[in-house]
């Protein structure tokens, strides 16, 4: 069972952070209570960023930041390198990227180009939700990157009534400027 919702810089993304913690716990040999992760070194993180910006056809670039690992019940500590891009469908969507599945394919390709691979262990932590969120993980040289993509309705948007059914928002029924995209790739050594 994944850990409880972790501290989150963006509402609605605790699933991805819970997957991140679960991956660490399953891949580490040390006891979970003593787990410490280390952010990917800046040069390695820049290599991941460069690949994302080269192979993922979106308008905003990825920001590179180093942050504390989110607080969690398993007491995993340390830091991670986060590469994040945020924008609306106007910035992210094109003939090449129309869906979350399209975005995930471009992210996977970019990471694969520089040697990151999905393994049997990381495949167990792929996640999809009915709330417009997909997560997958890859590894390389005792490091891991967890990619989370989320699409939501922009707060305050006034979509057509056809975009709703029983309280559920059909993201495909929204206009591009009414869709909010958030893509993060969190990388660290364990």
Helices vs strands, H then E, count in the chain? 5, 9
Beta bridge partners of 147: 136, 185
> Is this model's pTM higher than 0.75 or not?
yes
Q: Looking at the domain assignment, is residue 6 inside a domain?
A: no
DSSP 74: T
Average pLDDT (148-175) is: 82
In angstroms, the CA 58 to CA 60 distance is: 6
Q: Looking at the domain assignment, is residue 8 inside a domain?
A: no
In angstroms, the CA 27 to CA 115 distance is: 19
The CA distances from residue 72 to 17, 25, 116, in Å, are 9, 12, 26
| Residue range 180-189, pLDDT digits in tens | 999 999 999 9
Per the structure, the count of domains in the chain is: 1
**Residue 111: pLDDT over 80:** yes
Q: Looking at the domain assignment, is residue 9 inside a domain?
A: no
Task: Name the band, by pLDDT with cuts 50, 70 and 90, for residue 109.
Answer: very high
| Residue range 24-65, pLDDT digits in tens | 545 444 444 557 899 999 999 999 999 999 999 998 899 999
Q: Looking at the domain assignment, is residue 4 inside a domain?
A: no
In degrees and rounded to multiples of 5, residue 44 shows phi and psi of -70, -35
In angstroms, the CA 47 to CA 1 distance is: 33
| Residue range 5-30, pLDDT digits in tens | 333 444 444 445 555 555 554 544 44
What range does the domain containing 78 cover? 14-189
Q: Looking at the domain assignment, is residue 2 inside a domain?
A: no
Q: Looking at the domain assignment, is residue 92 inside a domain?
A: yes
């Amino acid at each position: 069972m994944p850990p409880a919702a972790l501290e989150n810089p963006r509402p609605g993304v605790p699933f991805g952070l819970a997957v991140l913690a679960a991956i660490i716990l399953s891949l580490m040999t040390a006891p979970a209570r003593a787990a410490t992760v280390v952010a990917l070194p800046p040069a390695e993180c820049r290599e991941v960023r460069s690949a994302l910006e080269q192979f993922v056809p979106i308008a905003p670039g990825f920001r590179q930041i180093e942050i504390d690992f989110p607080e969690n019940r398993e007491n995993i500590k340390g830091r991670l390198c986060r590469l994040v891009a945020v924008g609306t469908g106007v910035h992210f969507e094109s003939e090449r990227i129309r869906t979350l599945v399209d975005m995930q394919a471009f992210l996977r390709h970019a990471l694969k180009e520089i040697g990151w691979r999905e393994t049997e262990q990381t495949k167990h932590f792929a996640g999809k939700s009915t709330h417009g969120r997909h997560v997958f993980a890859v590894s390389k040289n005792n490091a891991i990157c967890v990619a989370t993509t989320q699409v939501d309705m922009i707060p305050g948007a006034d979509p057509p009534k056809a975009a709703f059914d029983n309280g559920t928002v059909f993201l495909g029924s929204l206009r591009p400027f009414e869709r909010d995209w958030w893509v993060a790739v969190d990388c660290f050594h364990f």
